[in-house]
Amino acid sequence: MPTPAPNLASGEPLADPEPDPGSGSEAEGSSQPSDGPSLDREAEERRQADIRDRRLVRRLRAGDQRAFEELVRLYQHRIFGLMLRMIGNRQEAEDLAQEVFITLHRAIGQYRGEGRFYTWLYRIATNTCKNRIKYLRGRNFHRSVPVDETPEAHDPGDGGPVVPLQARIAGPEAMTEGARLQAAIQRELAELDPEHRLLIILRDIQGLSYQEILNITGLQEGTLKSRLHRARVALKERLAPHLA
Amino acid sequence: MPATKDASAERITAYLDAELPDDEVAALEAELAEDPEALAEVEQLRRVMSLVQSLPEIQAPPDFAEKVARRVRRRVALGADSTWSLVSLSFQVLSIIVILTVAGLYMMAQLEQQPTGIEREQIPGTAPDDQVPAPVEP
């Protein structure tokens, strides 16, 4: 998919990514192993979400601030979650997530409605995040606050029921062990190269499809797959002592 | 990474993500059956992916949407006064120029007033205010 690379230096969304083949009725979303009816349901949910987003964007472009607030409410958790997992500092993540929505408000005129709205929003978010990481590196910023893994910090949201790690570990020490493993995963994830971290967050945590990630990152499909592989191998190696 | 390794990495990723066509799945599984080390690697990757996928979603702070709305309202309000922003910017630039000019003039005036080191070095008896003793009347 020859999507032009986003302008990472400016952080501006500039233009829509290429239209998503799945923005109509075709299923192209998360391809976690699932059965046929489930895929159909997911495709239908996506189609409905796209229709809703297009309507909200139209209203926002007409100056309806309530449409903007609705878009913020719909995507705040995903964008904040992306920022927090990328940056690792709650306050910084909140500032950045706010920046993303303010950029959305300012640049909505540049969104032509050809690609999916939320792919475009993610593009703004990843550009904002990369620019901030570059800036923070220059200032020797260190993650001072770990990602909050307390139960109240999480919500299943629209992504379906969350199976906590605690539920995967049997026995009376499940809570402690699950929390320890969860913290270890987040810590090791945070140590990955930001490009690798981003791909794991987009694909494995937020469940975006290859097509969506290609549109967001501007990568070629082969590059995405090999880079995702390297990211997973790097994380596996880092997690090895915790999984032994 | 060499091209063959790249191709292999791409296939494994697509396989783990259930994005590999059926015929290629069968071929890859046959290859993995012949290579226990590669199979173990794939299984470990699957386990790591499963753990990562089960991390709970993070929720934005409860007042997040309100904070964004407030910032946008402020931005819109400032945007309405964009003429003032421009005036303010020009005023700031002008102020800096005036300050630099005044500072420059002051420094030049100081330099003119202060004699240089060479000028200050006096030959005894040649200074204009040196008191040359009056000749004594015989």
Residue A175 clears pLDDT 80, i.e. is over it? no
Q: A124 vs A10, A96, A110, CA distance in Å?
A: 10, 11, 12
Residue with tokens 């004699």: B115
With both helix axes pointing from N to C terminus, report the angle between B3-16 and A221-243 in degrees, rounded to the nearest 10.
70
The pair of structure tokens assigned to A145 is: 């606050």
pLDDT > 60? residue A79: yes
* CA A79 to chain CA mean position, Å: 6
* B17 interfacial to chain A (CB closer than 8 Å): yes
Tell me the C-alpha distance between A154 and A172, whole Å: 23
Contact assignment for A84 to B58 by CB distance below 8 Å: yes
The predicted structure's pLDDT at residue B130:
52
A97: number of Cβ within 10 Å: 30
Q: CB–CB of A222 and B10 under 8 A? A: yes
Quick check: A66 contacting B, CB < 8 Å?
no
pLDDT for position A105: 95
Q: B117: pLDDT confidence band, cut at 50, 70 and 90? A: low
pLDDT band at A206 (very low <50, low <70, confident <90, very high): very high
Contact A13, A125 (CB under 8 A): no
Q: Residue A12 pLDDT more than 50?
A: no
Choose from A89, A208, A224, A232 for mutation: most chain B CBs within 10 A: A232
What residues of B are in contact with residue A182 (Cβ under 8 Å)? 55
Angle subtended at Cα B134 by Cα B133 and Cα B138, rounded to the nearest 5 degrees: 125
B46 part of contact set with chain A, CB < 8 Å: no
Residue A60, classified by CB atoms within 10 Å of its CB into exposed (0-12), middle (13-18) or buried (19+), is buried
Cβ separation B54–A98 shorter than 8 A:
no
Interface of A with B in 107-146 (CB under 8 A): none
pLDDT score recorded for residue A144: 47
CB–CB contact A205 B18 (8 Å) = no
Helix (H, G, I), strand (E, B) or coil at B138: coil
CB contact under 8 A, A235 and B48: yes
ipTM: 0.73
DSSP for A171-224? STTHHHHHHHHHHHHHHHHHHS-HHHHHHHIIIIIS---HHHHHHHH---HHHH
B37 pLDDT band, cuts 50/70/90, is very high
A72: closest CA of chain B, how far (Å): 6
Tell me the per-residue pLDDT of B69-106, one tens digit each, with 9 for 90 and over. 999 998 888 775 455 555 566 778 888 999 999 999 99
pLDDT for residue A50 is more than 80: yes
**Contacts B14 to A, Cβ<8 Å:** 225
Alpha-carbon gap, residue B93 to B22, rounded angstroms: 67
Using 50, 70 and 90 to split pLDDT, how confident is the model at A25? Answer: very low
Half-sphere exposure for A39 (CA within 13 Å, toward CB): 14
How many angstroms from the chain centroid is the CA of residue A55? 22
Dmax over Cα atoms in chain B, in whole Å? 133
DSSP A115: S
Q: How far apart are the first and last CA of chain B?
A: 110
Minimum Cα–Cα distance from A30: chain B residue: B17
Contact A210 B55 (CB under 8 A): no
pLDDT at A7 over 50: no
Mean of pLDDT values over A81-96: 94
Q: What pLDDT does A191 receive?
A: 92
Tell me if A101 and B48 make a contact (CB, 8 A cut-off): no
